Amino acid sequence: MNLVLIYDPLFYAVSIPAVLLYGIAKGGFAGPLAILGVPLMSLVISPLQAAAILLPILCVQDMISIYSYRKSFHLQNLLILLPAAVIGILLGFFWFSFLSEDNIRIFLGILAIVFSLNYFFFSKASQTTTVSITKGSIWGAISGFTSFGIHAGGLPYNIYMLPQKLDHRVYVGTGAIFFGLVNLIKIYPYYLLDQLRIENITIALFLMPFAPLGFFIGYKLTQKIDGEKFYALTYACLLVIGIKLLMDGI
């Protein structure tokens, strides 16, 4: 068992902020920031190991998020998104060894940039969308697929959910339940891929205390920001992260 990372200060310098970002996002503040977690940790370890270390932490954060937003969610969207996400996870599992992580980053980066620019330059001309089985199934499947590889399911989820302009607590609560179940489903496939090794679990336990701290920060910030500012900030984060992902993938 190789636990050398536990004694590496550089690993903590990138991993602690990554866990805090996931916690802040799970708390409901600037959710797209969570996608920076794996790329940030990938500065010192492989993206695959980073994703494996983060998965148990995400599951703990999910339990906190679901409890906190248990009364605020959109059931109809969940019933559309979740079955599609399962299909996406299965596709991610079967094709994982054949896919380039950089290709996934480029794909997500382009989506994020296009969707963010659309919000800032054309949102006044566009109308609020409603629940759609077709769109929800497509983006739900993409969310499950991208979530499996680098925990980046938030971008496809946002592309479908944000234009509905739900109350931001309902939006966050729906995401909490959706990703909580998605991450639980991912555990067994990760085990089959031999990514839940004892060393990765041990390292995750060392980082675990920062998960609730990040959530508390995000939850408090969510209570103090109005809906319009919340969505503007979320789209701004999408744009920055999209550029980052595109540059990393290229």
Residue-wise pLDDT tens digits, 110-120: 888 887 887 78
> Helices 47-68 and 198-207, interaxial angle, to 10°?
50
Q: How confident is the model at residue 144 (pLDDT cuts 50, 70, 90)?
A: very high
Q: What is the pLDDT of residue 123?
A: 62
Q: What is the pLDDT of residue 139?
A: 96
| pLDDT beyond 80 at 126 | no
Q: What is the pLDDT of residue 49?
A: 84
User: Could you give the angle at the alpha carbon of 190 between the alpha carbons of 38 and 84, nearest 5°?
Assistant: 85
- Choose between 220 and 104: higher pLDDT: 220
Q: What is the rounded CA–CA span in Å between residue 90 and residue 124?
A: 38
Q: What is the pLDDT of residue 135?
A: 95
| pLDDT beyond 90 at 178 | yes
- HSE-CB of 205 using CA atoms within 13 angstroms: 8
The encoded tokens of residue 179 equal 């990703």
Q: What is the pLDDT of residue 227?
A: 61
| 25-34, 72-81, 139-148, 168-177: least confident range | 25-34
Q: What is the rounded CA–CA span in Å between residue 173 and residue 220?
A: 15
- Choose between 104 and 240: higher pLDDT: 240
| pLDDT beyond 80 at 224 | no
Q: What is the pLDDT of residue 4?
A: 65
Q: What is the pLDDT of residue 57?
A: 93
**Exposed, middle or buried: residue 210 (CB in 10 Å: 0-12, 13-18, 19+)?**
buried
Q: What is the pLDDT of residue 248?
A: 83
Report the chain's mean pLDDT, rounded to a whole number.
Answer: 85
- In this prediction, residues 136-148 reach a mean pLDDT of 94
Note the helical H segments in 69-167.
75-95, 101-122, 133-150, 154-161
- Its pTM stands at 0.81
The encoded tokens of residue 174 equal 């729906």
CB 80 within 8 A of CB 136: yes
| 1-15, 143-157, 172-186, 232-246: least confident range | 1-15
